Chain A
Amino acid sequence: MENSKPLVLIHKGMATSRSMTTINIMLSPQFYTMKREELPVKYLYQAKRLAPSILDNLLAEGREHQYHVYKDGDAWVFIAFEPLVIAQFLTTKGIKAEQVSKVFFAQQYPQKFDRPFLLSETEVMSNLQDTVVVLPTTLINETVRYQMLDETVNSSDGISFNFNSSALLHQKEAIIIASILTLFTIMFVVEGFRYKSVISSMQEEVGVILEEHPSLQSQYARDNIAKKYRKIDKEERHKRNILKNLSSLIIPGAEIELLTMDSKRFMTEIKFPDEKRLLKVKSLASKKKYKSSRLGNGSVLKIEGKL
Chain B
Amino acid sequence: MIWKRYQNELIVGLALLLMFGAYIYKGSQVKQLDSTKIEVAQSVEEIGEIIALKQQWGDPKLKQRVQKVKQGLQSGKIKSFIVKGKKLTASLQGLSSKEMNSVITKLENIAIQIVKLSVKHKDGTYQMEIKCKW
Contact = CB atoms under 8 A, between A and B. Distances in A.
Interface of A: 20, 22, 98-99, 164, 166-171, 173-175, 177-178, 181-182, 184-189, 191-193, 195-196, 198-199, 202-203, 205-206, 209-210, 213, 216, 222, 225-226, 229-230, 232-233, 235-236, 239-240, 243-244, 247, 255-263, 271
Given A98-B4, A256-B126, 13 more contacts: A164-B6, A167-B5, A178-B15, A184-B19, A185-B15, A188-B26, A193-B29, A199-B36, A213-B47, A216-B50, A256-B100, A260-B116, A262-B115
Given A185-B18, A203-B36, A256-B121, A173 B8 contact: yes
Nearest to A20: B1
Interface in B5-57: 5-9, 11-12, 14-16, 18-19, 21-23, 25-26, 28-30, 32-33, 36-37, 40, 43-44, 46-47, 49-51, 53-54, 56-57
Contacts of B97: 255-256
B40 A202 contact: yes
Contacts of B22: 184-189, 192
Interface stretch (B61-69, B75-83, B106-114): B106-114
Interface of B: 1, 4-9, 11-12, 14-16, 18-19, 21-23, 25-26, 28-30, 32-33, 36-37, 40, 43-44, 46-47, 49-51, 53-54, 56-58, 97, 100-101, 104, 108, 111, 113-121, 126
Chief secondary structure at chain A's binding surface: helix
A187 to B, nearest CB: 8
B44 to A, nearest CB: 7
A109 to B, nearest CB: 25
A270 to B, nearest CB: 10
Contacts of A239: 114
A164 B5 contact: yes
Contacts of B25: 188-189, 192
Nearest to A161: B4
Contact of B26 (A98, A191, A210): A191
A226 B23 CA distance: 41
B113 A168 contact: no
A256 B8 contact: no
A229 B53 contact: yes
